[in-house]
Amino acid sequence: MSNDPLVETGLDELTPMGADLDGAGPYDLGVDAGGRLLAETAALVAGHTGEVVHGPVAPASVDTERIRDWLAGFDFAEAKPADAVLGSVMSALRKWTVHTTHPRYFGLFNPSPTWWGMAGDLIVAGVNPQLAAYSHAPAATEMERHVLRLLANGLGLPSDTDGSFTVGGAEANLTAVIVALTRRFPEYGSAGLLGLPGRPVFYASAESHLAWLKIAHMTGLGRDAVRLVPVDAALKMDLDRLREAYAADVAGGRIPFMIVGTAGTTGAGVLDPLGPLADLAAEWGLHLHVDAAWGGAAALSDRLRPLLAGIERADSVTVDAHKWLSAPMGAGVFLTRHPAALAASFQCSTGYMPAEVDGTHDPYTTSVQWSRRFIGLKVFLHLAVAGLPAVAEQLERDVRLGDLLARRLAERGWQRINQTPLPLVCVVDPEADAAGEERSGRWHAEVAGHVVRGGQAWVSPVRLDGRSAIRLCVTSYRTTASDLDRAVAALDAARAATSLT
């Protein structure tokens, strides 16, 4: 037995003097061929973006068998020409994807990504700065700080607001729970939940994004710790029910630590009453988190910002740049006015990380993530090239399109059941709505399915506080007024083809 680990692999015998190690390895295409590959890829993406408009928004069905058959052709046993592989991948994505880049995708806040955002993601993939340690990526880290500060400012948060880019809203909301627990219970970090004198609970509306349940599971709070407060007739958190739940929890020896206000619910785009929630949070000494994953972008329009009134009093806020700011996916933001609590939540030091730079902090000490992609560049490039006036114009255009959509649907006899200034319209057919929850649920789901199978538009069935409806959200900057007309026509045709059973 040798004590040289290489001997066991046999690698020591290949060319002992290493003469063959002086040239390029198998990954090193060289700059010219690599550059051609990226240019060809960019052309395919542009081609895709152009062509997607002319095809169906979504495949007529989910075809798992055919996708697996196609994949059987990839055993990776040998090299293949890049153009053949890229072409095959793009065609698979074209056939077997719901196209969020389509102007008639009226879906779940997945935007058509801006070109600046796509360019940003390409740069990040290529330059690949490591945003764990400040000293490794000072330019990237400062660019992110610059964008975070702009957002904090727009939201009316104080100048020492700190935060981080996240992969999305769920990570930002997870961060909020960790920071809120750490603020309220300094012992949480070392002793954990078992070290607390009672069971912590928090409040969010029944219409809030249910990532809260996963977060409660992950943090050890347990899913029952999420108090889903019923909503009022306008689908906003019912403040009387919140008071009742709080009183019952305190009387029962549980320890409330946070209230979540949602600024733009996922189902109906409704904004919880943020000012009154801030009053209650102050009265009870609770952390107020505002989940503005979708609606928070309104902070960048002078006209729309007042819709978020009260958010400036939040202890922390979630905003997703990959929703209403149209960044390619993988861009959320967490902001908090409590930098010390953020630092306490994620503090860590190791023997191998580079030393901190004075006057800065290492991003991995204020984030759930460690190695981190330069998420903020796609947002920075978008803002720097397009400029804030274009951002405001797009947001306001979307709001006007939402209003137009609501009016077009009303003209055709659809009844709107959600109230929101945001471009999200939920409608029912009055006759189906009156037919009882079960029949109404079946009918509205069938009509939405009919529209999707027809390929003309993507809309979805939704249940709002138990009432079934069809949900249409303007999410693509490519949507125009005539796209609204085509979506309404597709809905009308689906209604005519669907009987109430």
Ligand X SMILES: *Cc1c(COP(=O)(O)O)cnc(C)c1O
Q: How far apart are CA 375 and CA 368, in angstroms?
A: 14
Measure the CA–CA gap between 383 and 438, rounded to whole angstroms.
Answer: 47
Report how far residue 176's alpha carbon sits from residue 172's, in angstroms, rounded to the nearest whole number. Answer: 6
**DSSP assignment letter at 428:** E
Q: Name the DSSP letter for residue 365.
A: G
CB of 229 vs ligand X, minimal distance in Å: 15
- Answer yes or no: are the C-beta atoms of 289 and 180 closer than 8 Å: yes
- Residue 423 φ/ψ, nearest 5 degrees: -80, 65
Smallest separation, CB 322 to ligand X (Å): 6
Q: Indicate the burial class of 477 (C-beta count within 10 angstroms; 0-12, 13-18, 19 or more).
A: middle
Q: Does 423 bind ligand X (CB under 6 A)?
A: no
Name residues contacting ligand X, limited to 459-478 (CB under 6 A). none
CB of 175 to ligand X, least distance (A): 11
Comparing CB distances to ligand X, the nearer of 164 and 173 is 173
The residue among 162 and 320 lying less far from ligand X, judged by its C-beta, is 320
* Residue number of the CB atom closest to ligand X: 169
Residue 265 beta carbon to ligand X: minimum distance, rounded to whole angstroms: 6
CA within 13 Å, CB half, 364: 19
Instruction: Tell me which residues in 96-135 interact with ligand X (CB under 6 A).
Output: 109
The verdict on 235 binding ligand X (CB under 6 A) reads no
Please tell me whether residue 211 binds ligand X under the rule CB under 6 A: yes
For 377, the token pair is 């560049």
Stretch near ligand X under the rule CB under 6 A, chosen from 180-188, 249-257, 262-270, 473-481: 262-270
Residue among 266, 287, 267 nearest 277 (CA)? 287
Q: Is 408 helix (H, G, I), strand (E, B) or coil?
A: helix
Encoded amino acid at 422, one letter: L
- Of the pair 166, 498, the CB lying nearest ligand X is at 166
Q: What span, in angstroms and rounded, lies between the C-alpha atoms of 344 and 347?
A: 5
Q: Applying CB under 6 A, which part among 65-73, 114-122, 226-234, 261-269 lies near ligand X?
A: 261-269
At CA 109, angle to CA 105 and CA 114, rounded to 5?
80
Question: Is there binding between residue 315 and ligand X (CB under 6 A)?
Answer: no
- Residue 78's SS3 state is coil
- What is d(CA 237, CA 262) in angstroms, rounded to the nearest whole number? 9
The beta-strand segments (E) located in 128-252 are: 162-166, 200-205, 226-229
Q: Decide: is 320 part of the binding site for ligand X (CB under 6 A).
A: yes
Near ligand X in 323-342, by CB under 6 A: 332
**CB of residue 354 to ligand X, shortest distance in Å:** 30
For residues 159-178, which are near ligand X according to CB under 6 A?
A: 168-170, 173
**Between residues 109 and 116, which has the closer beta carbon with respect to ligand X?**
109
Answer yes or no whether residue 266 interacts with ligand X by CB under 6 A.
yes
Q: Is the CB of 141 or the CB of 262 nearer to ligand X?
A: 262
Q: Least distance from C-beta 105 to ligand X, angstroms?
A: 15
Residues that bind ligand X (rule: CB under 6 A) add up to a total of 15
Choose which of 116, 202, 257, 294 interacts with ligand X (CB under 6 A).
294
The residue from 104, 209, 444, 450 that contacts ligand X (CB under 6 A) is: 209
**Segment near ligand X (CB under 6 A); pick from 248-256, 259-267, 279-287, 453-461:** 259-267
First to last CA, the chain: 77
Angstrom distance (rounded) from CA 425 to CA 473: 6
What residues from 482 to 501 belong to the interface with ligand X (CB under 6 A)?
Answer: none
Sheet (strand 460-464) strand order: 415-416, 424-428, 467-473, 460-464
Q: Which of 151, 221, 293, 401 binds ligand X (CB under 6 A)?
A: 293
Contact residues for ligand X, defined by CB under 6 A: 109, 168-170, 173, 209, 211, 262, 264, 266, 291, 293-294, 320, 332
